[in-house]
Amino acid sequence: MENKHLLKLSDWSENEIMSVLNLADQLKYEKKKGVSHRLLEGKTLGMIFQKSSTRTRVSFEVGMYDLGGYALFLSNRDLQIGRGEPVQDTARVLSRFLDGIMIRTFEQKEVEDLAKFGSIPIINGLTDYAHPCQVLADLMTIREQRGALAGQKLCFVGDGNNMANSLIVGCIKMGMHVSIACPDNYRPDSEIMKWAESTGRFSVSADIKKEAADADVLYTDVWASMGQEDEKAIREEAFRGFQINSELMKVAKADAMVLHCLPAHRGEEITDEVLESHLEIFDEAENRLHAQKAVLVSLMK
């Protein structure tokens, strides 16, 4: 692994992503067989959370345990960073105690600064800009269930948010086509879209049925992300209709998968009916564990 950190997927080469996906498959297989793999014996991971989490926290904490290491949950409410201690000082201090940091926060710059001023691997556990760990688990799930990544079409329906940004980068790097169906005012990051357009394997519009046509994978996420609670009412209005429902399933491939990073808001971005009939969403959630372990081993071993 050339890269010391996982800050965003655009920093990683196709080979680096592929090697983590392969390792994730191997670790999953070993765990199911009961084969222990204490590859991070004696190592410690700090997990800084400035936002809530179920999957990210549990996958990294259980992941470190499985690997023979130790994970510390560091809440924003308790850390001095929550009282204004600068990131550069936090980075320098934590680098002297820990072997790696996973951080969930608002600004991407904070994650980049931890990497800049610290001397240990930094893993982005979600920012407003990106959610690379989730997308590694998503790619693992798509490959597991459809046999390959290259040539598959993923359509993301909803907000051009952190999930959309990371899916565009991760899926296109792995040879997939990505279409985004979103309201015009809620498009993904413009630099990411510019890059995606240059590959010829990207489209974006507010025409949901057009973007979802012949998709192998339909993906969605909440209309209002963490930190956007105040915009809930405006967003409910703006995103009405940007929903994965049984009508939309008809335009995708007959055997299309549905993925959702979770948590889901049934009746908003996805109907209860579609969610309950696409339980691969929970394979996707499980794969957070295996994919996150592969990231930890790749960066910290």
Active-site residues: which are they? 104, 131, 134, 221, 261, 288
Give residues 128-167 in contact with ligand CP (rule: CB under 6 A).
Answer: 134
Which residue stretch of 2-10, 53-61, 166-174, 247-255 sits at the interface with ligand CP (rule: CB under 6 A)? Answer: 53-61
Which residue stretch of 136-144, 157-165, 264-272, 285-293 sits at the interface with ligand NVA (rule: CB under 6 A)? Answer: 157-165
Binder among 105, 124, 161, 165 for ligand NVA (CB under 6 A): 161
Q: Of the two residues 129 and 202, which places its CB atom closer to ligand NVA in the complex? A: 129
Q: Assess 111 for contact with ligand NVA (CB under 6 A).
A: no
What is the torsion angle, in degrees rounded to the nearest 10, for the CA atoms of residue 201, residue 207, residue 208 and residue 212?
-30
- For residue 54, the partner it binds in ligand CP, ligand NVA, none, with Cβ less than 5 to 8 A by kind, is ligand CP
Return contacts of 113-117, CB within 8 angstroms, 24+ apart: 113/87, 113/88, 114/87, 114/90, 115/4, 115/5, 115/7, 115/91, 116/88, 116/91, 117/87, 117/88, 117/91, 117/92
Q: Assess 18 for contact with ligand NVA (CB under 6 A).
A: no
Could you tell me the smallest distance in angstroms from the CB atom of residue 2 to ligand CP?
Answer: 26
Binder among 92, 253, 262, 280 for ligand CP (CB under 6 A): 262
Which residue stretch of 48-56, 72-80, 143-151, 201-209 sits at the interface with ligand CP (rule: CB under 6 A)? Answer: 48-56
Binder among 59, 105, 162, 165 for ligand NVA (CB under 6 A): 162
Give helix then strand counts, H and E, for the chain: 12, 9
State how far the Cα of 274 lies from the Cα of 90, in Å rounded to an integer. Answer: 44
State how far the Cα of 283 lies from the Cα of 222, in Å rounded to an integer. Answer: 19
Residues in contact with 172: Cβ distance below 8 Å, sequence separation at least 6, in sequence order: 178, 196, 199, 201, 202
Q: Assess 225 for contact with ligand NVA (CB under 6 A).
A: yes
Q: Assess 58 for contact with ligand NVA (CB under 6 A).
A: no
State how far the Cα of 54 lies from the Cα of 141, in Å rounded to an integer. Answer: 19
Q: Assess 257 for contact with ligand NVA (CB under 6 A).
A: no
State how far the Cα of 274 lies from the Cα of 271, in Å rounded to an integer. Answer: 5
Q: Tell me the three-class secondary structure of 19-69, residue by residue.
A: HHHHHHHHHHHHHHHCCCCCCCCCCEEEEEECCCCCHHHHHHHHHHHHCCC
- For residue 163, the partner it binds in ligand CP, ligand NVA, none, with Cβ less than 5 to 8 A by kind, is ligand NVA
Q: Which stretches of the chain bind ligand NVA, using CB under 6 A?
A: 126, 161-163, 221-222, 225-226, 261
Q: Which stretches of the chain bind ligand CP, using CB under 6 A?
A: 53-56, 126, 134, 261-262
